[in-house]
Amino acid sequence: MTQHVTEPGHPEPGPDNFSFEDYLEGKSTFPVFEHTAYLDQKSGAELGVLDEDLDTLTRQLGAVEGQARKRVESSANSFVDSVLDDLNEQKESLEAEIQKLSARRDELCKKIIASGITLVFQVKTPEELGTVTREATRQFHKENPNYKDASENDLDYITARSRYTLTAQIAHFCAEVKLPDGRTVPAPTRSGADMLLRRLISSETMRLMESVGNGLSASRDWADRIDAGFPGGSADVEEVGMAEAVAEDGPVMERATADDHHGPAERLV
């Protein structure tokens, strides 16, 4: 039998001296997640066009190479084949253009990455998320009386309210900002977050909105995977999203799910 030895002055934890509050304090942690916003969006737009051109050229090169292989197989005994010569010239031209565009792509990626700022978020309780979101809604209506009688079908109203809520959530839950040169600086205020959104094109704004929405919500995925290995585990982790957190005043933040591409940021890896 194993004997548990406790240090002098520290009695072995038991029913009479166990503190549930102290145990939670020592064990519970909240997730941290990051989002990088790229400010050189001019280079990002060029990267998007360049990637499409590279895809087209790569497909063309594959087709030419396929034709050349078939031509070689069908004219194995021929010393002169003008068609094959033409295909080889096309192949060399396409390879040169791909090499040129690939070099430009590398340059753009370096420029875009050098313009990135990384927001570090500290996730907290669903109750705190709800409080911040509801307060942002009230403050938005206070500062924008022109939307007093706005309908939930009013796109301008929904967009403005969602944007305001997002800036409030960034200001509250962002713990710090990492700069490309390695420095760590204080998190932005709500006005700073608003300025950031005003510097982002729509695809980058949507990417940030989606990242914050997914990150701040209590995702149950990881808990489900862990509980899958334990009989009786159910992982009843309530997922509180942007909209669900504000039942008192109606939906505040619609989860951003852009149907189009998220922009060049997704192609930097």
228 pLDDT more than 90 = no
pLDDT at position 1: 41
> Contact at 8 Å (CB) between 261 and 55?
no
Mean pLDDT of the chain: 81
Q: Exposed, middle or buried, 38 (CB in 10 Å: 0-12/13-18/19+)?
A: buried
pLDDT at position 267: 59
76 pLDDT more than 90 = no
- pLDDT band at 81, cuts 50/70/90? confident
What's the pLDDT tens digit per position in 140-170?
999 999 998 899 999 999 999 999 999 999 9
pLDDT at position 261: 43
Q: Comparing 125 with 227, which gets the higher pLDDT?
A: 125
33 pLDDT more than 60 = yes
Q: Comparing 163 with 224, which gets the higher pLDDT?
A: 163
Domain positions in the chain: 45-112, 116-260
Give the best-scoring range by mean pLDDT among 124-128, 190-194, 215-219: 190-194
pTM value > 0.85: no
219 pLDDT more than 80 = no
